[in-house]
Amino acid sequence: MPLAMSALVAMLLEPLSRWLEKLKIGRISAILLSLFLVIIVTIGIFSLLSIQFVQFADRLPEANEKLQVISGNLLTFFQEIFGIAPEKQIDFLEQGLGNVIDRSGDYLSTALGATTSVFTTVTILPFFVFFMMYYKDMYQTFIHQAFKGEETRAIDSVIEGVQTVTQNYIVGMISVIGILGLLNFIGLWLVGLEHALFFAAFAAILAVIPYIGIIIGSLPAVLFALLFTESLFTPLAVIGVFSMVQFLEGNFITPNIIGSQVSINPFMALLALIIGGEIWGISGMILFVPFLGILRCVLVEVEELRPYGYLLGNNIRYEFNTDESG
């Protein structure tokens, strides 16, 4: 997974590095400056989100009081509807909590393992990106030496196509996240939801997970509105904001910005989400869709494999012409 993530970042930074080299900056310095820019931007984004999260965390005691009131109302509701005494309901809850506590050791170990993995990945990622960018020409020379003859032209075409598709996809996705964050913020601010910037950015970032990301990202804002507003208007308005943004994202924003560069049909994208989640967790859900788009790019560049690229795509009409078919 770190290698896969590094490859995407390296392909994204390659044009910037080449541009810096044209300004008479050495190859190593150009790569380091590109990495430094990405690190600074990333730290800035996470710092802003952290400040917003700290402000949001100050409301947690109040949220606890609200939850106690809601839980009391739920106990009364179940007693009136199903005739279950509050004491028995609490016993059921305690048994469920007991099972969770019994398994908390496993959960904690898993969480610590995941945290360690994240820190390890973040630490080694810049080194992987640096060496992939530095030795890029060496890798291409190796391919030329290993596959001499007419195949090198096809290989160069595939490499160029893969890099172009990957760069367009990543830049497009960053643009989509920025637009979604702005639309989310405007909508939540108009609704009057507190901490609108945090909720807007959180939902926009999770949009990198296709189809389900924006739904998961909207849940904290909806729950916050339910807990800290006196009427149902605000929660319903928040749901309406995210529904409208999701409609615009799926029908106008993503198709027009990312276009057909990574045009994968929804069924294949969902399969990629499931397989990626099983292999690499959340990182796999994020990475496998662009990888499927890259795989499609490779397939359509090789004449014998074009039908498989067509199968992955989102266009029912077969548009790849061959010499035999005209």
Question: Widest CA span of the chain, in angstroms?
Answer: 81
pLDDT at 111: 44
CB neighbour list of residue 235: distance below 8 Å, 6 or more residues apart: 222, 225, 226, 229
223-267 pLDDT tens trace: 888 877 777 788 889 999 999 988 888 777 777 776 555 567 778
Q: How many CA atoms lie within 13 A of 62 on its CB side?
A: 11
Express as a percent the part of the chain with pLDDT over 70.
72
32-86 pLDDT tens trace: 999 999 889 888 877 877 777 776 666 666 666 666 666 666 666 666 676 666 6
| C-beta separation of 133 from 31 below 8 A | yes
Is the pLDDT at 110 greater than 70? The verdict is: no
CB neighbour list of residue 31: distance below 8 Å, 6 or more residues apart: 13, 17, 130, 133, 134
CA distance 177 to 200: 10
Q: pTM of the predicted model, to two decimals?
A: 0.69
Q: Pick from 22-26, 69-73, 93-97 the range whose average pLDDT is largest.
A: 22-26
Q: Which of 16-25, 101-110, 168-177, 233-242 has the lowest mean pLDDT?
A: 101-110
User: Which tops the pLDDT comparison, 132 or 112?
Assistant: 132
Decide: helix, strand or coil at residue 83: coil
Helix (H) or strand (E) holding 100: helix 86-102
Is the pLDDT at 214 greater than 60? The verdict is: yes
Torsion of CA 163, 169, 171, 172, to 10 degrees: 150
Give Cα separations from 58 to 55, 61, 214 (angstroms). 5, 7, 25
295-322 pLDDT tens trace: 887 787 777 888 888 888 777 777 665 4
Residue 274 carries which DSSP code?
H
Which residue in this structure is represented by tokens 């760069």?
Answer: 167
pLDDT at 326: 36
Give Cα separations from 160 to 29, 31, 155, 164, 165 (angstroms). 24, 20, 9, 6, 9
Write 293-298 long-range contacts (CB < 8 A, 24+): 293/165, 293/169, 293/261, 293/262, 293/263, 293/264, 294/162, 294/165, 294/166, 294/262, 296/262, 296/263, 296/264, 297/158, 297/161, 297/162, 297/165, 298/158, 298/161, 298/162
Q: Please state the domain extents for the chain.
A: 1-134, 163-257, 262-326
Average pLDDT taken over every residue of the chain: 76
